[in-house]
Chain A
Amino acid sequence: MAWFKRESGDLDNSGKKTVRTEGLWVKCEGCRQIIWKKDLEENLNVCPKCQKHFRIDARARLALLLDDNQYETFDGNLSSTDPLKFVDLKAYSSRLRQAEHDTGLKDAVINAQGKLLGRPVIASVMEYAFIGGSMGAVVGEMITRAVERAAETKTPLIIVSASGGARMMEGVISLMQLAKISAALARLDKVKVPYVSVLTDPTTGGVTASFAMLGDLNIAEPGALIGFAGPRVIEQTIRQKLPAGFQRSEFLLEHGMLDAVVHRKEMKPYIARALDFMTAAVSRQPSAVSTS
């Protein structure tokens, strides 16, 4: 072991410049500047120069939202049965295996229960790295169960979307998840349990056209692509280039389709503040929101 340690240390010293540049720098697509990966990570994966919000995975999102990164997950044991035995250029079953291997998840969402600035919450957080965060029977069932759990235990619900929409490899089965989740949300609405929908980059298709747009508040991170149809489909339909900023959070805000665009740093206090508004007052940590 000693020789290895020394050698790696040597290598670190001798090749300082080259080694450090590889994989340690990131080019920001927002401002085209080169930024330190470490700086980016310390800044919650938001570009320190232009505030571009980089995509983060579901676990990083939960760490961001829930106190002390402490939470209990549930329904994580559900997995797809590949009901259509779907094969395109690749078999869906092998795509599932690959996605499971890449993400350590059985499908594109994590259901968790924890606290947000001291307030108990249920959070369903979508994982874009799992087949584009697409929604099939498992995602539909898990989100429905989170909604039901919120209704039964009167615990506020937060759903963080990151999804290309319905999962084509499950055909109409994925479409029916829209109806199922929306019906469950009607019941949640009836019992007056708060539901905050957080839309992140990207949220499109059947996810936007169901639960993502059904929150008591629908809020988004800056610069997120949000829409029903994907930009390419629209371009092909209207045979026109789309205007700059089309379908971005700020565009939706301007058109009255979002309640707020909230910086990643402000997300947790903003939600806490919203939950205070929506729930009976009990002693809790203050939800200081900077009003800059």
Chain B
Amino acid sequence: MSAIGESPPRPDGFAKTSGAARYVDDVSLPGMWHGATLRSPHPHARIRSVRWNPGKAPEGAVCVTAADLPGRNGVQLIDDGWPILADGFTLHVGEPVALVAASTRLEARQALAAVEVEYEPLAPVLSLEKAESLPPLYQLAMQTGDAEAALARADAVIEGEYRTGHQEHIYIECNGMIAWYEEDSLIVLGSMQCPYYVHKALVHALDLADDKVRVRASAVGGGFGGKEDFPSAIALHAALLARACGRPVKIVYDRHEDIVSTSKRHPAVVRHRTGVTRDGRLLAMDIEILMDGGAYATLSSVVLSRALLHSFGPYRCSDVRIRGRVLRTHTAPNSAFRGFGAPQVEFAMERQMDRIARTLGLDPFEVRARNVVEPGDRLPTGQTLDPSTSARLCLEEAERRTGFRARWKELEDARARRKDGEPMRGIGLSLYFHGAGFTGNGERKMKSPVTARLLDDGRIEVLTAMTDMGQGCAAVFPQIATTAGGIDDDDVVFAAPDTGEVPDSGPTVASRTTMIVGGLIARTVAELRDRVLAWRGGNAFSSPLPRVGRAMGEGPGVRGFAVRDGWIQGPEGPVERFRDAARRFREETGPVEVTLRNEPPEWQSFDESTYQGDAYPTFAWGADVVEVEIDPDTLAVRPVHVTAVCEVGKAIHPILCAGQIEGGTLQALGWALMEEIKLQDGRYLNDRLATYIIPTIQDTPRIDVHLLEKAWEGGPFGAKGVGELPMDGGAPAAVQAIENAMGIQVDEIPATPEKLFQAQSREIAG
């Protein structure tokens, strides 16, 4: 049995290193055809006509347009306002207008030429400035106290405007789906984070019964949010083509198509007005958030919600007003990307803290230390922070490990003495937090279930809908199950995420997999174990549910019997292998199955109209220190070292947990320094890997991760959600380091050499 806190090899590791793991593009079915998508070349146009000329297409090819849809033309997510295929109008470049399928990939592409579309171009809205005067896709506001009054009595009011750009996920495996019919059932296999989202979208648009649609996840080659909503659309496309040609149809995007047409992180503009005392304490915040939602709302409303709830940073402030809007532009819908709105607003808050520090003559550590939240403090939402609140712990540990303050001062002083042509060095610090699980009442509404059942041979099978997109739930879940149940590694198996088999334990998103579903697995396995013990001891099924928390797995057991190391232990020692008892139980009584649903803590309540209450059951915390070197001629920024101190509750599998932080930190540095989407006439110019640059190993600094653990009572063995946390900290720390090196103000990322040159020129001019 692998104990909590050990790092066993991930079970899919050998398959992935040897090339045996099966991703969607590795699967080929007999008679399978290939699909291709005809996309709008216009950011905004009326579609006058769509004509399919089969005579110009390869023999037998089929075409599907909006006119051929059997039901509603909407991809069901939060609502179904996102069309499956453009109908009447197209609202962004790359929007799907028609689908074709043919026997090979090449023929499918050739068939695209047989679709004639007549467009009447219309004026597009392509900038947030222009979109700001138009009705938003969504808006939210919250306030606590009286921000205007508090601003009026502040010693100083500091204003700043901060901008962040698009970010493309660049999961190394592009999006892809295969759909086929077996008798009257539709089967979909593909790369996805959320099998039941795909299932729901198929049922909704194709008007099929729930049990006539089955969705299975293949191996998933990275997600980062990019496989949260788009797989639903691609699955629909593949299913419509399979229906049209009567064969299995595969659609796998190539990289160019994936970048052109799928979602990105929302670009954002965040405006702050902060009232402070002379000694740097925050009295009031007035925050305005604008996000570019693209052409359709998809998940933007919940992204904005999370943005609002992280926009005040891990700081104390009693008078806060926040307004947020998602604006509509004629670009592909922006949607989920690791962090889900929090990285943009935390970047802005951290930059604002630095502006406050500079204005008041404080160093970056001091301004944070004077305002950081502590256990028992109340957030602007009114939520009282629990005892595991670790913002100060992370801040002080980062200082202790890096000597940030002294180094920052040293580099500030060095800047004045630096000779022309010398490399510029700078160091930056950020403090950040992330709420795990669905925002607000999301988990309570979902009440997601997990099932555990006994197999004929006495093993426990655990069924969840979670997909392992690399984060490692395939390793972490067995650790949780074996420890909670006291059983051996060989005593438990996990069902593949297949909606025909597993219950809807919710989407693999929002840093909820370990903390929420993992906790549920622990309770469910322990309950099933207790049923076996109760049967063996002749009891009725009356054992109480084990408490979710650190002591799980050491629970009282039943009538003096417990399970340890795979053996049922009585008062005198081991009495029988658990699996043998379970097998006899199963033989005697037939199917034995336990399904438990997630129940958020009773105290957690959130008012969605006022945004007051407990938005998240708990938070994970972090502080990053980034040191950079900047070439004085090219202004290229090279991060040379990163220290990330993260408080994660409990690291169930420290290697994988640190892996989340290492990888997330690098994604944050890429977003901060190099990843850039430029738009021209609504088209992304950086639409391939030759032009959209993500960090290579040569761009990557040494990343030292230090995990701190303050167990949270509600998580399995104390664990908090961690997947998104590291995305929040890298960018503000890197940009502060640039300022430390160059002595300029940088309010926008990516901080490319061009932007730094402009900022430097402004500084010299101004």
Report if A and B associate in a common complex: no
